[in-house]
Amino acid sequence: MSEIRNIVILTGAGVSAESGIDTFRDGGGLWEQHRVEDVATPEAFVRDPDLVHRFYDMRRAAIQEKEPNPAHFALARLDAEWPGELLIVTQNVDDLHERAGAHRVLHMHGEHLKAWCTSCDVRSVWREPLLARPPCPVCQARSLRPDVVWFGEMPYQMERIYAALRQADLFVSIGTSGAVYPAAGFVRDARELGARTLELNLERSQGSSWFHETRLGPASEVVPQWVDELLQ
Ligand code: BV8
């Protein structure tokens, strides 16, 4: 592995599954009989803001009772010890990578623990429910929304992600079904740009054929094993 210097890691819901945070595929991607794609959209927020606030209030509270698992801790160890470039691009909106000690983390789909004011545009750290329309800590307007990228919205920091993919010698995808774009396309970009590509997942994903190597198993086992190999 000596020729590897720059690593990009993409994580999805599967890396948090063993921490007790439901993936989007659990229950067939349903919440209260709503398809997630129908609740996690700007249109749903206009049509039924209370429904969307309830969806996010429930998940924001849930993640605060969960703990990182060995996969998060192994990635935090890699972040601390890897001498080259490393970027953990996560699709997850929980804070378990950070709570495990990782620093080089990029939340391309936003974060549960932030609220975005649609009046003053400021994003604030936020742990409470939004259903009762609390005032923005900065401008007092009652116009806070979850700071989460919904379907149809532009993911965050795409330029920074593509810059990292251009420099990557190794692209590793962990715990994602490869169902949602543009994240699902990163493996093709990385491969075409010359990176080696590795998938660590519980089962084969929609993108498996694009990886040079796929290792199947629970993240809490396969991720620490992979990190140990890389750091030995
Ligand atoms: C955009 C935040 C323009 C919200 C999320 C038609 C075709 C192709 C694309 C589209 C299309 N129509 C529309 C689109 C675009 C759309 C899209 O891809 N739709 C899909 C449904 C077809 N994408 C968008 O709208 C994006 N924006 O395109 O803007 C643009 C284009 C290019 C460049 C710039 C801009 C915005 C998408 C973001 C939506 N927000 N999250 C919230 O959390 O509420 S997406 C959300 O779902 C997650 O963040 C994640 O990205 C996705 C779920 O994926 P996974 O994380 O993979 O989770 P999943 O449950 O699917 O899979 C879990 C995996 O883990 C499984 O493989 C399982 O086997 C594995 N696993 C389970 N347990 C374990 C495990 N692995 C290891 N260990 C275990 N224990």
> What would the pLDDT profile of 50-95 be if each residue is shown by its tens digit?
999 999 999 999 999 999 999 999 999 999 999 999 999 999 999 9
Distance of CA 129 from the midpoint of ligand 1 (Å): 24
The CA angle 30-157-206, to the nearest 5 degrees, is 45
pTM of the model: 0.97
Instruction: Name the band, by pLDDT with cuts 50, 70 and 90, for residue 38.
Output: confident
What pLDDT does 4 receive? 96
Domains of the chain: residue spans and CATH = 1-20+68-109+154-232 (3.40.50.1220), 22-65+110-148 (3.30.1600.10)
pLDDT score recorded for residue 33: 78
The pLDDT, as a whole number, for residue 31 is: 77
pLDDT for res 25? 83
Ligand 1 mutation target, pool 22, 23, 54, 206, most atoms within 8 A of CB = 23
pLDDT at 35: 87
Question: How many CB atoms are located within 10 Å of the residue 129 CB?
Answer: 15
| Cα distance between residue 12 and residue 7, in whole Å | 17
- At 11, the amino acid letter reads T
Read off the amino acid at residue 168.
A
What distance in angstroms lies between residue 180's CA and the mean position of ligand 1's atoms? 3
Nearest 5°: the CA angle 41, 190, 184 is: 25
Report the 10 Å Cβ neighbour count for 2.
4
* pLDDT tens-place string over residues 16-28: 999 999 998 877 7
The average confidence (pLDDT) of the chain is 96
Residue type, 224: P
User: Taking a C-beta distance cutoff of 8 angstroms, is the pair 19, 223 a contact?
Assistant: no
The answer to whether the CB of 62 is under 6 A from ligand 1 is: no
- Which of 10, 19, 24 to probe ligand 1 with, by most ligand atoms within 8 A of CB? 24
Does the C-beta of 224 come closer than 6 Å to ligand 1? no
Mean pLDDT of 100-105: 98
pLDDT at 7 over 70: yes
Residue 87 annotated in ligand binding: no
112 lines ligand 1 (CB under 6 A): no
Q: What is the pLDDT of residue 109?
A: 98
Quick check: CB of 109 below 6 Å from ligand 1? yes
Ligand 1: centre distance to CA 166 (Å): 22
**Where in the sequence numbering do the catalytic residues fall?**
109
pLDDT of 187 over the 70 cut: yes
Amino acid letter, 181: Y
204-213 residue pLDDT tens: 999 999 999 9
| pLDDT at 2 > cutoff 70 | no
